[in-house]
């Protein structure tokens, strides 16, 4: 610390102000690098984004989605071989799945802003509701009455057709949502790139303004100091023009 103090004491005022400007420039550069690194980590398609997206994709791949009635369709097949308590449990499970289906539909209707995507989801839900209606009003009563011929016909023809239609509608929603996601990711990535470039430009501009300001302060300070020294000297000792010029310009 003492060595630094002696070093700073030996510097003239111009060098001290230049050192302050240099330290401020380095601080701006470190801060800019930190901001750039943070944006790079959390931006769309960045490392943290991919980590979060990977978690969502894993959950989506493991769990059947609520808005796709493949699990209810599977439960209907399981009912064909169930009776007693097992059949009752499957009926209750189908009701829970229906409730989840309706709740998620209500949620997406409230948050979706894309009208075309909302209409596509509505078509998928409508076809799904038709299959649920067949399940509850015809298939389950047939199973409970042990009318396996009717239940098999409903499952193999009516519900199969309804499920295929529902699957087609779901596929359409997936295609539209995927295309919308790609557009949004491209838009956000472009925004991040433009904002990052803007930050770099602003940072360099601030550094240039800081350097210019420090240079102006140094020049003004030296000019005022030379005027004071010249005034003090001329008040004590008469100076020739050559000496005054050397004091003013050196």
- For the stretch 96-143, pLDDT in tens is 999 998 998 888 888 888 888 889 989 999 999 999 999 999 999 999
Structure tokens at 71: 């699990």
CA-wise closest residue to 126 among 173, 187, 83, 85: 173
What's the pLDDT at 78? Answer: 93
Q: Which residues contact 186 (CB under 8 A, 6 or more apart)?
A: none
The residue among 26 and 111 whose pLDDT is bigger is 111
What's the pLDDT at 97? Answer: 92
Residue boundaries of the structural domains of the chain = 2-41+197-249, 66-192
CA distances from 45 to 10, 59, 191, 196, 248 (A): 52, 19, 13, 15, 60
Per residue in 128-183, pLDDT tens? Answer: 999 999 999 999 999 999 998 999 999 999 999 999 999 999 888 888 888 887 88
What's the pLDDT at 72? Answer: 92
What's the pLDDT at 21? Answer: 67
Instruction: For residues 217-226, give the mean pLDDT.
Output: 67
Confidence of residue 83 (pLDDT cuts 50, 70, 90): confident
In the predicted structure, residue 50 carries a pLDDT above the cut 90: no
The dihedral formed by the CA atoms of 230, 231, 233 and 239, expressed in degrees to the nearest 10: 70
**Which DSSP string do the residues of 161-197 spell out, in sequence order?**
HHHHHHHHHHHHHHHHHHHHHHHHHHHHHHHHHHHHH
Q: Which residues contact 101 (CB under 8 A, 6 or more apart)?
A: 66, 67, 69, 72, 125, 128, 132
Determine contact, residues 71/64, Cβ cutoff 8 Å.
Answer: yes
What's the pLDDT at 237? Answer: 47
What pTM was estimated for this model as a whole?
0.63
CA-wise closest residue to 70 among 128, 123, 19: 128
Question: In the chain, how long is the greatest CA-to-CA distance?
Answer: 127
What's the pLDDT at 12? Answer: 60
In the predicted structure, residue 200 carries a pLDDT above the cut 80: no
The residue among 231 and 169 whose pLDDT is bigger is 169
What's the pLDDT at 67? Answer: 77
């Amino acid at each position: 610390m003492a060595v630094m103090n002696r070093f700073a004491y030996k510097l003239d005022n111009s060098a001290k102000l230049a050192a302050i400007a240099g330290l401020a420039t380095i601080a701006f550069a470190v801060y800019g690098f930190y901001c750039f690194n943070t944006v790079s980590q959390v931006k769309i398609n960045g490392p943290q984004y991919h980590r979060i997206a990977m978690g969502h994709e894993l959950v989506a791949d493991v769990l059947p989605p609520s808005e796709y009635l493949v699990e209810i369709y599977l439960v209907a097949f399981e009912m064909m071989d169930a009776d007693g308590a097992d059949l009752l449990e499957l009926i209750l499970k189908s009701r829970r799945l229906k409730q989840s289906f309706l709740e998620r539909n209500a949620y997406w209707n409230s948050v979706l802003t894309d009208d075309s995507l909302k209409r596509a989801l509505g078509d998928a839900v409508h076809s799904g509701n038709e299959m649920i209606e067949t399940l509850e009003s015809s298939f389950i009563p047939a199973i409970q009455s042990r009318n396996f011929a009717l239940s098999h016909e409903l499952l193999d023809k009516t519900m199969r057709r309804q499920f295929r239609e529902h699957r087609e509608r779901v596929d359409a929603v997936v295609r539209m949502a995927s295309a919308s996601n790609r557009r949004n990711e491209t838009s956000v990535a472009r925004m991040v790139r433009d904002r990052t470039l803007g930050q770099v430009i602003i940072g360099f501009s601030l550094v240039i303004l800081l350097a210019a300001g420090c240079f102006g302060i140094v020049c003004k300070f030296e000019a005022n100091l030379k005027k004071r020294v010249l005034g003090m000297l001329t008040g004590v000792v008469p100076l020739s023009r050559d000496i005054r010029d050397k004091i003013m310009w050196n």
